[in-house]
Amino acid sequence: MPHKDLQKNSQSLVHSSAQPSLQPLSQSSAFSPALSAWINPKYLEPKSIAALKHEFETGKPYKYLEASEFFLHHRLVEVLKAMLEEKFYFKESDLFKFNQTQDLKNTDSKIIKEFITFLYSKEFIAYMQHLTNFKFSKTVDIAGTLYEDTNFLLCHDDQLDDRKIAFLCYLSTVEETDGGSLALYNAEKTKLKTIADDKKEKETWMPTTVAKRIYPAFNKLAFFEVSEISFHEVEEVITPETKRVAIGGWFYEQH
C-alpha cells in the first residue's frame, strides 16, 4: 500500500507554473539522442553543458550542481504519480527520521522502471561523466524518500565504499519556510585524540557552518561530489502539511 498521506492529487506537490517551452535539440550536441527522451533539451546544448561543467567545478563549499526543470516536465509528472503509489518504509535513529522506498530497481511501476533504467544507462552515465570529469562504474543505488513534519537527516559526509556522486531528483516543491532544505557545510581540519591512544592526535575534517542551502523544487536535479569534506544534512521539516518527495542515490567511482 502507498503511504496514506500521499494518496492525493500530484499537482499539489508540483507547485509549478505551466510546462516550460522546449526548443529542438541542437544538431551540434555531441550526446546520444537517447538523452532527449528524458532530459530538457536546453541541458543538451553545448553552451549549457559548458556552463554546467563550470558551475560544478567551481562549486563551494565543494563541487555541486543544481539544475531546475532538468527533465522533461510531463515525464516527471508521470514519475511523481507513480511514486505516490510506492510503499514507503519509516526509518528512525538518533541520526535520521524519514520514509524510504525499496531499491527502485525492484519496482513494479513501468514508468519508474523506465526512469531508473535511464538514470543508470550508459548514455546518462556518459553525460554525468562529462559534467563532472569523473569515471563511474555501472553500479548505481536509487531509492525514493519522503520527509514529513519533524523528519530530518543529520550532518554526515556520505563516504561509503566507492561512492563518488550523490544525487537527488526532487519530486515536490517545498517552501523555504517549511524546512527540508539540503544544507551543504563548510569544513576545517581539526586535531582529535585517537581512541586507541588518547595521547596521540589525528587530523580530520569536521563540519563548521552552513555554506549553501538547496531548496527542493519539482524537477530540480541536484548532485555533489562525495569526499572527506562533503558534509551535508537534510534540515528538519517544520510544517505539518509538507511532503518532501525525491528520488536519489549514488554513482560509484570506477577503478
Single-letter residue type at 243: K
Q: Where are the domains of the chain?
A: 34-253
Question: Running along the chain, 255 residues long, what does each successive block of 10 average in pLDDT?
Answer: 59 58 44 90 96 98 98 98 97 97 95 96 95 93 97 97 96 97 96 68 91 98 98 98 97 92
Q: What is the CATH number of domain 34-253?
A: 2.60.120.620
φ, ψ for residue 28, nearest 5 deg: -85, -5
Beta-bridge mates of residue 213:
183
- Model confidence pLDDT, tens digit, residues 177-203: 999 999 999 999 998 766 666 667 788
Q: Are 16 and 218 in contact (CB under 8 A)?
A: yes
Distance between CA 133 and CA 253 in Å, rounded?
A: 11
pLDDT of residue 55: 98
Nearest residue to 168 via CA among 198, 195, 142: 142
Name residue, grid cell 531528483: 169
pLDDT of residue 21: 43
